[in-house]
Amino acid sequence: MIETCDSPGLLPIQSAITTMLKQVTAVLDSEQIELENAFGRVLAVDVVSNINVPPHDNSAMDGYAMRCEDLIDNNQLQLVGTALAGAPFKHKVLPGQCIRIMTGAVIPQGADSVVMQENTETKDGFVMFKQIPEFGNSVRKAGEDIQQGKVVVTKGTKLTPAYLALMASVGMAEISVIRNIKVGLIATGDELMPLGQPLAYGAIYESNRYALTALLKTFPVVVFDFGIVKDNKDDLKAVFEQAGSHCDLVLSCGGVSVGDADYVKEILDELGSINFWKVAIKPGKPFAFGQLRGQSNGQLSNACFCGLPGNPVSSYVTFEQLVSPILQKLSGQTYLPTPHFVAKAACLIDKRPGRADYQRGIFYRDEQGELLVKPNGKQGSGIMSSIAHANCYMVLEQDAEDVQQGEAVNIQPF
């Protein structure tokens, strides 16, 4: 039995995440795309290499390649040719011989080691070696990075720049990835004004969508921006219905705190199902999670719905801590909690037990090289500069009390 706002107490953040993840089904549809467009996408199948990387033993240095044992009682070998990257030496290197070799050039038959040119001298068609190499010196072995037939990158991996290079190195021109997740974004509130107009009395500029859109760009998504919707049941219902029909995930911000929540609740009850939670997280206690049933191409679709609190810091933090796991699961990734690091409190950090607190902080090293962290100014849920000028969250556990100067603090760098 999970705790909701109807139950006494608050829902611990980890229970909220576990409950949501159980209700979210990963998107399985995949598409074939060119590797050059695959940055940030999620691999739909394991990628297996058809080749060894590197394909051949090759030189790690500019120098001379020879048979190592030829230099045991002798430091001079006859120079018989050159191997360049892309222009191999096509003959066998015979006993007593060596060749000039450049980085990346194939080690020719007969040779097994390379001595870098700084440790040699050439004279009259001979090379003098000032260093006796070990067997295999400065040789990069075929398949030392990737072996033919092995899985290079596993299904469910979000593709980083390094993964792209890895797949290019095995010749994958096209790959199969999960289709982009369709996310609908809605800001609600009568006071919200679009940019580009003078502010009316009592109004504020709508700002959450700018942060949320940018945060969403770090996931494999397409964003459908439904703009600002007034606190009015008919307008909201129409937009929720449309978003539910088109999207895998619908995010709204605003209108989920007590009092306001009624419209969102009424509408979601009509269009799907909804839980209003008081999550034990600060900032961001009110949070709604549910399903929106929409009509898509004549078929009933089921979109996840997350109602974020409207306060700018709350919407930002709840996106990062609560929505991000959902997006990972929807897009076929394995949910990986963000790693924490430990720093020392540079001063007293105020904390009341009851909710996990994601205070915005600045971490730095002092003159002794010790990692310290301090709160970044005022921590109110409307104070967006607390995030903008910070470089980490100070994650203070639900039951924790004030942190004294010098005590350990978990931090999550941005």
Contact footprint for ligand AMP (CB under 6 A): 187, 189, 191-192, 204, 206-208, 253-257, 260, 309-312
Cα separation, 360 vs 357, in Å, equals 9
Residue 366 Cβ vs ligand AMP, minimum distance, rounded to whole Å = 36
Residue 283 Cβ vs ligand AMP, minimum distance, rounded to whole Å = 11
Residue 326 Cβ vs Mg ion, minimum distance, rounded to whole Å = 23
Picked from ligand AMP, Mg ion, none, the partner binding residue 159 (CB below 5 to 8 A depending on kind) is none
Exposure string over 328-361, b if 16+ CB within 10 A, otherwise e: bbbbbbeeeeeeeeebbbbeebebeeebbbbbbb
Torsion of CA 4, 5, 7, 10, to 10 degrees: 80
Comparing CB distances to ligand AMP, the nearer of 34 and 190 is 190
Interface region with Mg ion, contact rule CB under 5 A, candidates 116-124, 217-225, 305-313, 361-369 = 305-313
Residue 303 Cβ vs ligand AMP, minimum distance, rounded to whole Å = 20
Comparing CB distances to ligand AMP, the nearer of 190 and 350 is 190
Indicate whether 189 belongs to the interface with Mg ion (CB under 5 A): yes
Q: Which residue is nearest to ligand AMP (CB)?
A: 310
Contact 403, 373 (CB under 8 A): no
Comparing CB distances to ligand AMP, the nearer of 247 and 253 is 253
Residue 294 Cβ vs ligand AMP, minimum distance, rounded to whole Å = 23
Residue count, binding to Mg ion (CB under 5 A): 4
Cα separation, 327 vs 217, in Å, equals 11
Picked from Mg ion, ligand AMP, none, the partner binding residue 395 (CB below 5 to 8 A depending on kind) is none
Residue 259 Cβ vs Mg ion, minimum distance, rounded to whole Å = 9
Comparing CB distances to Mg ion, the nearer of 63 and 310 is 310
Contact 188, 257 (CB under 8 A): no
Comparing CB distances to Mg ion, the nearer of 264 and 317 is 264
Structure tokens at 124: 């009259």
Comparing CB distances to ligand AMP, the nearer of 149 and 194 is 194
3-state secondary structure of 222: strand
For tokens 């369709």, what's the residue?
182
Residue 187 Cβ vs Mg ion, minimum distance, rounded to whole Å = 9
Which contacts qualify for 156-162: CB closer than 8 Å, 24 or more apart? 156/42, 156/43, 156/332, 156/333, 156/334, 157/42, 157/43, 157/333, 158/40, 158/41, 158/42, 158/220, 158/331, 158/333, 159/38, 159/39, 159/40, 159/41, 159/42, 159/43, 160/39, 161/39
Question: Which neighbouring-strand residues pair with 187?
Answer: 228, 253
Indicate whether 254 belongs to the interface with Mg ion (CB under 5 A): yes
Indicate whether 312 belongs to the interface with Mg ion (CB under 5 A): no
Interface region with Mg ion, contact rule CB under 5 A, candidates 198-206, 307-315, 320-328, 383-391 = 307-315
Q: What does the binding site for Mg ion look like in residue numbers (CB under 5 A)? A: 189, 254-255, 310
